Amino acid sequence: MPHPGCTKSPCADVYAGRRPAEKVSCLGLINRDLGLAYMIDTTPDFPAQLRALTGGAPPDGIFLTHAHIGHYTGLMYLGKEAMATKGVPVYGTERMNAFLKDNGPWNLLVENGYVALRALEPDVAIELPGGLRITPMLVPHRDEFTDTVGFLIEGPRAKALFIPDIDKWEKWNRSLRELANEVDYLLVDGTFASMDELPGRDISQVPHPLMSETRAFLEDTRAKLWFIHLNHSNPALVDGKDVGREGMAFGL
Ligand SMILES: [Zn+2]
Ligand SMILES: [Zn+2]
The 10s digit of each residue's pLDDT in 11-58 is: 999 999 999 999 999 999 999 999 999 999 999 999 999 999 999 999
Distance, in Å, from the CA atom of 10 to the CA atom of 194, rounded to the nearest integer, reads 17
pLDDT at 202: 81
How far is 112 from 91, CA to CA, in rounded Å? 17
- 165 alpha carbon – ligand 2 mean position (Å): 5
Give the residue ranges of DSSP H helices in 61-133: 69-72, 94-102, 106-111
- The predicted pLDDT at position 204 comes to 78
Amino acid at 105: P
Ligand 1 center–CA 164 separation, angstroms: 8
> Which of these, 31, 34, 33, 91, lies nearest to 61 by C-alpha position?
91
What tens digit of pLDDT does each residue of 212-233 get?
999 999 999 999 999 999 999 9
Which residue, among 164, 222, 160, 176, has the nearest Cα to 29 in the 3D structure? 160
Ligand approaching nearest to the C-alpha of 229: 2
What ligand is nearest to the CA atom of residue 41?
Answer: 2
Cβ pair 127, 153 in contact under 8 A: no
Per-residue pLDDT, 205: 81
Residue 68 alpha carbon to ligand 1 centre in Å? 5
Between CA 90 and CA 78 the distance in angstroms is: 11
Q: What is the pLDDT of residue 197?
A: 84
Report yes or no: 155 and 135 within 8 Å, Cβ to Cβ: no
Domain 20-239 has CATH 3.40.640.10: no
- Which residues of the chain fall short of a pLDDT of 50? none
pLDDT on residue 19: 96
Cα(186)–Cα(224) distance, integer angstroms: 6
Q: Which of 102, 99, 186 is nearest to 143 (CA)?
A: 99
The angle subtended at Cα 44 by Cα 43 and Cα 47, nearest 5°, is 90
Which ligand is nearest the CA of 231, by number?
Answer: 2
Distance (angstroms) between ligand 2 centre and the Cα of 71 equals 6
By the 10 Å C-beta count (0-12 exposed, 13-18 middle, 19+ buried), 242 is classed as middle
- Residue 236 CA to ligand 2 center (angstroms) comes to 17
DSSP letter at 142 equals -
Q: E-assigned strands of 64-139?
A: 88-92, 115-119, 126-128, 132-138
CB 24 within 8 A of CB 37: no
pTM of the model: 0.96
Distance between Cα 231 and ligand 2 center (Å): 9
Position 107 scores a pLDDT of 98
Q: Give pLDDT, residue 203.
A: 77
